[in-house]
Every structure is written in C-alpha cells, then in structure tokens.
Amino acid sequence: MNPQKLSKKVKEIIGKSDLYDEMLLSAISPWEFSKLLEKKRIGISCNPEDWINVALDMPKLRIIPLSPILSYRSTVLPQPFHNDPADQIIVATARAENATLLTKNEKIHAYENVKSLW
C-alpha cells in the first residue's frame, strides 16, 4: 500500500525476482491485514478483496498454509519471544521453511532464533 515505507533493501529484493527462488507468505498475514482494516488502523481506496488478489499476484509467491504442525510449533518457540499469536505463527513458519523474514517488526529482529532483515 505504501511502497515508500519499505526499506531500500526490501524494495530491491521484492522488485527483482531474480534475487530469490521464491517469496513466501504465511497464511496468517492476509488475516492480519484484514484485521488492521477492520480496526481502521489502515485504509485502502479500493475493494479489499480486489486489493488482496492483486497483492498476492506476485511472481514466485507461495502462500504457506497454517498447518496443525505449524500451529503447534508456534506455541513452543525457543524463549524468550513475545505473545502475539500472529507473530508466533509467522516466526514458526519462517523457521520451518528456513526462510528470512522481511519485516520492520523490532521484536522479531531482536529474536535470535529466526533470520530477518529490513
């Protein structure tokens, strides 16, 4: 929604699909986006379903479903980690996929048990 808020490094990665084999997205992330809309913490000027469909139409994007195993793993992350359930699922997903998280979330950056950058 606001590409200018992305870091230069993240813009470069997202904009050049030859820099990665695939981009992963936890199934919880569209839910988080929808909750932000619901709570009016963000706004968009088009139909949210249309926006989601366009946003998810990225080259090499793979949605990682929330499996029962990932659900469990999100509850047994090496401590300390904070109590946000969505962040726990995202981190558990990244760990299971051996992926680097692209996030500006400082709590995730401080967590030593997952790779992240911004």
Positive or negative torsion for Cα 28, 33, 34, 39: positive
Distance, in Å, from the CA atom of 102 to the CA atom of 11, rounded to the nearest integer, reads 10
Q: Are 36 and 42 in contact, with CB atoms under 8 Å apart? A: yes
Task: Please give the distance of CA 30 from its chain centroid, rounded to a whole number.
Answer: 9
Q: Which of 1-15, 37-51, 97-111 has the lowest mean pLDDT?
A: 1-15
Q: What are the Cα distances from residue 5, in Å, to 59, 82, 103? A: 21, 24, 11
Please count the structural domains in the chain: 1
Q: Is the pLDDT of residue 1 over 70?
A: no
Could you give the percent of the chain with pLDDT greater than 90? Answer: 70
Backbone torsions φ then ψ of 6, nearest 5 degrees: -75, 150
Residue, of 2 and 92, whose pLDDT is higher: 92
CATH number at residue 112: 3.40.50.1010
Q: Any long-range contacts for 29-36 (C-beta under 8 Å, 24+ apart)?
A: 29/86, 29/90, 30/56, 31/86, 32/86
pLDDT in tens, 60-101: 999 999 999 999 999 999 999 999 999 999 999 999 999 999
Distance, in Å, from the CA atom of 76 to the CA atom of 30, rounded to the nearest integer, reads 23
Mean of the per-residue pLDDT values for the chain? 92
List the domain range (segments joined by +) for residue 88: 3-117
Q: Which of 9-18, 26-35, 101-110 has the lowest mean pLDDT?
A: 9-18
